[in-house]
Amino acid sequence: MQRVKNAVRSRSIHVCVVDTGSCNGCDIEVLACLSPRYDIEQYGIYVHNNPREADVLLVIGAVTPQWEDKLIALWEKIPEPKAAIAVGNCPISGCVFNRHDSYVSAPASKFIPIAAEIPGCPPRPTEILSTILAIAPLAFKDFERERK
Ligand code: SF4
């Protein structure tokens, strides 16, 4: 299984997206990455929602209490090597939902390791794209080195 994944990965990066409680602003920017204008697939990045085939997890939203355990479970389903990227201010700090009477549990890094953060409310599609392209090869390289 790992050999198959490594062969596929040499030509592509599979991305799983999870919304842990957002205003949908960041979701729209991720969707924009799929549009002809940004055409994320031309870089070999495929976005879907199957964690078992994913390399990179994009975390959106401020992590509501209902999402705490689910986020950990989702992360554990993704095979190594893997990397999580926090998209937008919500998973980094809670953003507008971070108030004294807040019900959110941000940052997402309390629950899973976050390899990179893309600040912004919301960040631009180009920032999302460039971060995936920068982080994924680094995560894979570390994994290959550990296996040797
Ligand atoms: S960072 Fe801003 S745009 Fe993104 S989900 Fe949070 S509030 Fe919405």
Domains of the chain, each with CATH number or no CATH: 13-147 (3.40.50.12280)
Task: Note the pLDDT of residue 111.
Answer: 98
90 lines ligand 1 (CB under 6 A): yes
User: What would the 3-class secondary structure string for the chain be?
Assistant: CHHHHHHHHCCCEEEEEEECCCCCHHHHHHHHHHCCCCCHHHHCEEEECCHHHCCEEEEECCCCHHHHHHHHHHHHHCCCCCEEEEECHHHHHCHHHCCCCCCCCCCHHHCCCCCEEECCCCCCHHHHHHHHHHHHHHHHHHHHHHHC
20 lines ligand 1 (CB under 6 A): no
- Lowest mean pLDDT, pick from 30-39, 82-91, 101-110, 120-129: 101-110
**Chain mean pLDDT for the chain:** 90
Q: What is the per-residue pLDDT across 2-61, written as a single tens digit (0 to 9) for each? A: 565 555 556 689 999 999 999 999 999 999 999 999 999 999 999 988 999 999 999 999
Tell me: pLDDT of 100 over 90: no
Among 17, 22, 29, the mutation site with the greatest number of ligand 1 atoms within 8 A of its Cβ is 22
Among 20, 26, 67, the mutation site with the greatest number of ligand 1 atoms within 8 A of its Cβ is 26
Q: Is the pTM of this model over 0.85?
A: yes
